[in-house]
Amino acid sequence: MSVSAILTFLGGIGLFLLGMRLMTEGLTSAAGSTLRVILSSATRSRARAIASGIGITAVVQSSGAVIFATVGFVNASLLSLGQAIGIIYGSNIGTTFTSWIVALLGFNLDLQALAMPAIGVGMAMSVLAGARRYGSLGRALAGFGLFFLGIDVLRGAFEGIGDVVSLQDWAGKGILSLLLFLVIGALLTTLMQSSSAALALTLTATAGGLIPLNAAAAMVIGANVGTTSIGVFAVFGSTAPAKRAAMAHVIFNAVSACVAFAMLPALLWLVEQIAWILGSTENLATSLAIFHTLVNILGLLIMLPFTNSLVEFLQKRFKSVVEDFSKPMFLDHNVQSTPSLALDALAQELLRMNKIACDMAKAAISSEVPQKEILEEGRKALEILSFEIGDFASGISRGGMQAEQMGAIPDAQRVAQYLVNVVEHANTMISLHPTAQLQDEHLKNSRNVLRAHVAQLLDSVTGVGPSWDGKAAEASRASFELEYQALKADFLTAGSSGVLSPRVMANALERLSELHRIADQGYKAAVYIDRYIRHTKVILAEPERAPAKQAEAIEPRTEVRNEL
């Protein structure tokens, strides 16, 4: 084989990969938030999730992109693990559309006559429309043309390879040779990070007579195994939900591969019968597309009855250290390049941080001695979490983002700082300003009423979300301000009239001031979270209850004291 033939072969692979990337990115960008809306609506039922996975993957021509987006939704708590698994099942079936496109069009048409106009028209649309939706569709169309141009180049390259390398001889060694082709399929997918590219390579080689059908079928099984590497690589350093979703993908494809390999003769016989019915017995590429579809449908039929058990199994794995709540639960840096997913994840992390801070502050108001150490650790943890939120927010891609959404990102960093301040003021209040013992019943009762009002206000701001009543919270905040100013005046009067000693008065006012700052910072955090949610138009699910250990660490069992 000449150097020129090798370079032509590599160029064909490059054209195909470039075409697939342009198609996927263009269609995903053109879809905008539609992908997010469709995936979020898939939580209604598992059947709907499977159908969504099939449909979206067939459109964007990338199971990796769909699974990647699904992992992001699991991180943002917009999809449960069970529904995400449904989308993963469907995505594996949807990816077989690439095989059908190659089999039905790739060997029956003049590919250059199809590819060149698509590339020309697509790039013209991209240049004229720029970053708008039609520009994205143009890039997808150009990618479609490159996709077929790559197949045409590969088809010619395989004709030359067949004269030099006889893979037919490798396929006649029984089960060991089939295992070899399975490994080749897995390695090709892992190296190219595209099961579609590996499948197109296999289909082209089979159609060119380079590989017999049984060996090509083994390569298809290997490509299914290799595609799990895309998900595995994507979750390095990410959150526990992302790892569970990726592991579900691995388990599905591994089970499908093992069963398909064990049933290979039976499946090939079934492929032959279906090909005869379709009148395509001579078209090996069509037979291989049938086989690819059967493998993934078989995997679905096997795994579907055990999905609930799989969810239960995975929920027990990849446990995060709940006591260390400084570690983000929703911020997966892999989704920063997809603004809609990144903004969702950021909203969920802010809501989580808001609950932690408010729970700590309420605990500090109710009881002081047991809280000192926990509050200091909590303050440090929230400071770390604040840095993580700032780092994540600054790394979100601004491409395709609306001006209102971009303007909301600084609000996230502002919220994080407000929440750190809430815990810092709570810590200062109980550490530096112990409760003053008051003899005056009016001052004592007024102080207890104000304390209860702050706890009520913190409860209100903890519930910020799509249905949050901002006007009611504002009214509560205004009412608190009047009570605070009145009590402050009463303390000053008591100090100047001799009812309180100057030292007791000063300490009581300092403690009162810290309480005022807690309410102020907590309220501001809620207002900016609400504004962030409205401006970014994120889709929020019902918040999950904190695990028992985390809830215990954040909100220790205390009894309400009669003293502030």
Of residues 105 and 262, the one with the higher pLDDT is 262
Report the C-alpha gap between 276 and 289 in whole angstroms.
14
- Tens digit of each residue's pLDDT (9 = 90 or more) over 40-99: 665 567 888 888 888 877 776 666 667 766 766 676 556 777 888 888 888 888 888 877
- Contact between 174 and 208 (Cβ < 8 Å): no
- 237, 242, 247, 250: CA torsion to nearest 10: -90
Out of 53-62, 178-187, 545-554, which region has the weakest mean confidence (pLDDT)? Answer: 545-554
Letter string b/e over residues 159-169, b meaning 16 or more CB atoms within 10 A of that residue's CB: ebbbeeeebee
Of residues 218 and 95, the one with the higher pLDDT is 218
- Amino acid (one-letter) located at 416: A
- In this model, does residue 186 exceed pLDDT 60? yes
Confidence of residue 267 (pLDDT cuts 50, 70, 90): very high
- In this model, does residue 544 exceed pLDDT 50? no
HEC string for 368-406: CHHHHHHHHHHHHHHHHHHHHHHHHHHCCCCCCCCHHHH
Task: Quote the pTM value.
Answer: 0.56
- Contact between 436 and 511 (Cβ < 8 Å): yes
User: What is the predicted pLDDT for the residue at 171?
Assistant: 57
- Tens digit of each residue's pLDDT (9 = 90 or more) over 431-448: 777 666 776 778 888 888
Report the C-alpha gap between 415 and 427 in whole angstroms.
19
User: What is the predicted pLDDT for the residue at 421?
Assistant: 92
- In this model, does residue 37 exceed pLDDT 70? no
Burial class (CB in 10 A: 0-12, 13-18, 19+), 496: exposed
Q: Quote the strand ranges of 246-353, DSSP E.
A: none
Report percent pLDDT > 70 for the chain. 73
Residues 6+ apart with CB under 8 A from 469: none
Out of 345-359, 400-414, 457-471, which region has the weakest mean confidence (pLDDT)? Answer: 457-471
Give the DSSP letter of residue 436.
P
Out of 11-15, 211-215, 464-468, which region has the weakest mean confidence (pLDDT)? Answer: 11-15
- In this model, does residue 541 exceed pLDDT 80? no
User: What is the predicted pLDDT for the residue at 65?
Assistant: 64
- Amino acid (one-letter) located at 110: D
Residues 6+ apart with CB under 8 A from 171: 177, 178, 181, 211, 212, 214, 215
Out of 164-173, 250-259, 453-462, 513-522, which region has the weakest mean confidence (pLDDT)? Answer: 164-173
- Tens digit of each residue's pLDDT (9 = 90 or more) over 453-463: 888 888 888 87
Domains of the chain and any CATH numbers: 3-315 (no CATH), 333-554 (1.20.58.220)
C-beta neighbour count of 114 within 10 angstroms: 17
Average pLDDT over residues 373-388: 82
Confidence of residue 369 (pLDDT cuts 50, 70, 90): low
Report the C-alpha gap between 234 and 34 in whole angstroms.
23
Structure tokens at 473: 């919270």
